[in-house]
Chains A and B, each alone.
Chain A
Amino acid sequence: MSIVLFSGTVDKLMAASILATGAISMDMEVDFFVTFWGLNALKKDMVASNTRFSRDFEEMAGPMMQLFKAKNVPSWYETLKKAKTNGKVRIHACSLAADVMNVKKEDLDSIVDDIVGVGSYIDQADGAAITLFI
């Protein structure tokens, strides 16, 4: 499975990490291509502190976070880390976004494997049975 993670809001990060967990549970490999706001969300100083929600449902951010907590739903970051521990999940950062946003490899959380160009992503997506843009 191939996931382009463009968004950096908690709700979409959660969707992406849960889908990745589903994929590795089903014995599929997952390649992430993280770019723009998705790349921003994977910076070391962002992974735990991010509370941004999709603009359309911004007023639901607080109540949703409380519901996740009440229902014992782990954070997107914990979910993604667990997926990576239990399956083949590779997280590639987009070199253009990294350049434009002045993000270095060492600024990114250790969950990120490498920085690659869009060509590498196209190659991975070409061989994937499922491709998602989130």
Chain B
Amino acid sequence: MSSIDLKTIKVDKVIDARGTSCPGPLLETKKAITAVPIGGVLETRSSDEGTKADIPVWANKVGHKYLGVISEPGYDRIFVKRLK
């Protein structure tokens, strides 16, 4: 999915984990995914560099779909679709 699609995607929940260190944003993502309806999209905002690497791996392991990342100055917006 291109970043153009991500910019207009409907997001069901946004987690702002900016300012928290690894693995805080990952844990917040794991906690928040259950608050999103199945088929819905969760956006995690993280200023920790490792999170954009960790969330795709996590999504793959636990069975959700990683949609992509938009890099903003100083932080990333990471999108995951809840599949189950």
A: which residues have CB within 8 A of B? Answer: 18, 21-22, 24-27, 71-74, 82-83, 86
Contacts and interface: CB of A to CB of B under 8 A. Distances in A.
Contacts of B29: 25
Interface of B: 19-24, 26-27, 29-31, 54, 57-58, 61-62
Given A72-B20, A72-B21, A73-B21, A26 B58 contact: yes
Contact of A71 (B21, B31, B62): B21
Given A26-B61, A86-B31, A18 B20 contact: no
- B contacts with A: majority SS: helix
Nearest to A22: B23
Nearest to A23: B23
Contact of A21 (B19, B27, B57, B58): B27
24 contacts: A18-B22, A18-B23, A21-B27, A22-B23, A22-B54, A24-B27, A24-B30, A25-B26, A25-B27, A25-B29, A25-B54, A25-B58, A26-B57, A26-B58, A26-B61, A27-B61, A27-B62, A71-B21, A72-B21, A82-B27, A83-B27, A86-B27, A86-B30, A86-B31
> Which of A22, A25, A26, A74 is the most central at the interface, judged by chain B CB atoms within 10 Å of its CB?
A25
Contacts of B61: 26-27
Given A25-B30, A25-B58, A86-B30, 8 more contacts: A18-B23, A22-B26, A25-B26, A25-B54, A26-B61, A27-B30, A72-B19, A72-B21
Nearest to B21: A73
B59 to A, nearest CB: 11
Contacts of A82: 27
Contacts of B27: 21, 24-25, 82-83, 86
